[in-house]
């Protein structure tokens, strides 16, 4: 059964076959932790990725848990965790809007991995012409009900015109066919247009603290784990130059809280959670942004 579901791969960035194992983790929704997942590091380019990984035709089964937050609008849940996530999401939507507004006031926007379309809805209300890409059928139905055009895959946009801004809010790390997808993104971006990519930062302080319990590892759904160097190298292959980075502050709190409970920390150790969040923020502000849980990369398409 395992051989039928898993596949071993070469490095998705450089194609090299040599790697070293760096971490063993688990599916956070599997209470018995029956399956182990191995994160490896390419000896050539340094990309960290899941190997072996679940075959693409089976990965959809691992998004079905009702606790998977990005699809929370499809579940109708109203427990404390769901309410907290909706609160975080609302604040994050305002932050994402400001990131885009700092680049351009109006235009055409494509959101890849749009889930149930909340960000697209915000941008449409602000005057943008919006399009989404979302592989999950149930989530696409929510987007359609909002009156927003949405596709199942990037390949379906072949005949579409180009975009002023393309956003990927925590979706690049999920996408099979890494280089072909970024090549398509470059093709869909106007010359001088922007690509905004938010991904978990594998060099973050949180990962060093929580190790295999760090929620942003999210095996087997996250098939890549980027640091600054590997992500900039990837987009540089397709006429994209990095113009700035930012950090998604609320993700620090979210990732630490979720990781704290995955590690089965006692509530009496709550001071430990406060200390780890504070240390990450201090290291980010004083030492380097590379300590933060989530980095936002803003690329511009070269002429």
pLDDT digit string, tens, across residues 87-117: 677 788 989 999 999 999 999 999 999 999 9
Residue 124, pLDDT above cutoff 80? yes
**Domain 68-301 in CATH 3.90.180.10:** no
Across 11-25, average pLDDT = 97
Q: How is residue 137 written in tokens?
A: 């059928």
pLDDT tens digits, 227-250: 999 999 999 999 999 999 998 877
Separation of alpha carbons 58 and 9, rounded Å? 16
DSSP code for 281:
H
pLDDT at residue 122 is higher than 90: yes
Look at residue 81 in the predicted model and tell me its pLDDT. 60
Give the model's pLDDT for residue 2: 60
pLDDT mean over 179-190: 95
Identify the pLDDT of residue 48.
98
The mean pLDDT value of the chain amounts to: 88
Tokens 């001088």 map to which residue?
192
pLDDT band at 69, cuts 50/70/90? low
Q: Over pLDDT 70: what percentage of the chain?
A: 87
Distance between CA atoms of residues 225 and 41, nearest Å? 9
Asked if residue 221 lies in contact with residue 63, where contact means CB atoms within 8 angstroms, the answer is yes
Q: Which helix (H) or strand (E) holds 245?
A: strand 240-247
Domains of the chain by residue range: 68-301
Overall average pLDDT of the 6-24 stretch: 97
Q: Is 103 helix (H, G, I), strand (E, B) or coil?
A: coil
Residue 74 has pLDDT above 50, yes or no: no
> Phi first, then psi: what are they for 38, rounded to 5°?
-110, 125
Q: Which residues pair with 195 in a beta bridge?
A: 166, 299
189's CB contacts (< 8 A; 6+ apart) are 162, 163, 166, 195, 240, 301
Which has more pLDDT, 290 or 79? 290
């Amino acid at each position: 059964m395992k051989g039928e579901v898993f596949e071993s791969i070469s490095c998705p960035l450089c194609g090299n076959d040599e790697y070293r194992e760096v971490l063993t983790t688990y599916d956070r929704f599997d209470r018995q932790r029956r399956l182990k997942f191995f994160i490896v590091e390419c000896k050539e380019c340094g990309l960290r990725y899941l190997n072996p990984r679940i075959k693409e035709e089976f990965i959809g089964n691992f998004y079905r848990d009702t606790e998977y937050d990005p699809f929370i609008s499809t579940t109708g849940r109203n427990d404390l965790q769901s309410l907290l996530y909706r609160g975080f999401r609302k604040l994050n939507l305002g932050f994402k809007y400001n990131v885009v507004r700092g680049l351009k006031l109006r235009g055409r926007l494509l959101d890849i991995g749009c889930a149930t379309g909340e960000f697209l809805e915000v941008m449409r209300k602000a005057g943008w012409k919006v399009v989404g890409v979302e592989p999950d059928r149930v989530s696409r139905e929510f987007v359609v009900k909002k009156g927003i055009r949405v596709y199942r895959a990037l390949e379906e946009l072949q005949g579409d015109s180009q975009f002023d801004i393309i956003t990927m809010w925590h979706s690049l790390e999920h996408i099979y066919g890494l280089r072909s997808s970024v090549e398509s993104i470059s093709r869909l971006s106007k010359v001088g247009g922007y690509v905004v990519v938010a991904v978990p930062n594998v060099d973050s302080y949180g990962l060093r603290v929580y190790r295999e319990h760090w929620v942003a590892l999210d095996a087997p759904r996250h098939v890549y784990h980027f640091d600054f160097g590997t992500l900039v190298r990837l987009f540089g292959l397709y006429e994209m130059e990095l113009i700035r980075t930012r950090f998604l502050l609320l993700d620090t709190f979210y990732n630490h809280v979720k990781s704290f409970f995955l590690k089965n920390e006692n509530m009496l150790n709550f001071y430990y959670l406060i200390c780890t969040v504070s240390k990450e923020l201090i290291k980010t502000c004083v030492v380097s942004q590379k300590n933060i849980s989530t980095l936002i990369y803003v690329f511009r398409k070269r002429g």
